A = this chain, B = another copy of it.
Amino acid sequence: MTTNSQIRQNFIQGMSGISQFWGFPKAMGAIFGALYLSATPLSLDELVENTGLTKGAISTNVRTLTRMGLIHPVTRMADRKDYYEAETDFYKSVQTILKGRQNNEFDRAINSVKETLASLEAGEGSFDKKERAFLIERLKALQDFFDAIDNVTRAISKLNSLGINTVQSVIKILK
């Protein structure tokens, strides 16, 4: 016989795995899983109970989940506890995540390519004509690729504001 708690635990464990697969802490997945299966917002202590993690772990992971827009804090008047609920519009979350990633590290990374390219175009180094041309060509191609990724992420960010029908039609074009 399968108990309610077993079903919940199984799901929570599954979400841990998914979280890990995408390079996030397992705890993040577990917390999200617990919240996602709850019809009402859960407090930090309830999350401790549901996931088996400690307060500290919950506290830090809840923060990053909130930053990612995957969960939302819910404050109740005359109740000092913080409650959290899962975002159910995943596209909205994806948008938030991409936006965050973009501004932080990604630009920095792209920049290093840009710098190298600039060095070369400024005539730095002692490459002969042919080699310099080759390197510039390659770096330009790489930068184009990064720009394309940039466009795609921007596009995905837009998906949320468009109707789901637009999304479907785009997908159809690509199929």
Contact = CB atoms under 8 A, between A and B. Distances in A.
B145 A174 contact: no
Given A2-B125, A10-B119, A125-B2, A37 B138 contact: yes
A79 interface: no
Contact of A124 (B2, B21, B173): B2
Given A7-B125, A120-B7, A138-B37, A17 B109 contact: yes
Interface residues of A, number: 58
Contact of A135 (B1, B37, B170, B173): B37
Given A7-B124, A124-B2, A125-B4, A36 B175 contact: no
Copies of this protein in the complex:
2
A116, A142, A151 interface centre (most CB from chain B within 10 Å): A116
A44 to B, nearest CB: 21
B14 A116 contact: yes
Q: Which are the 7 A-B pairs with shortest beta-carbon distances?
A: A14-B112, A155-B174, A2-B124, A18-B109, A11-B116, A90-B145, A4-B125
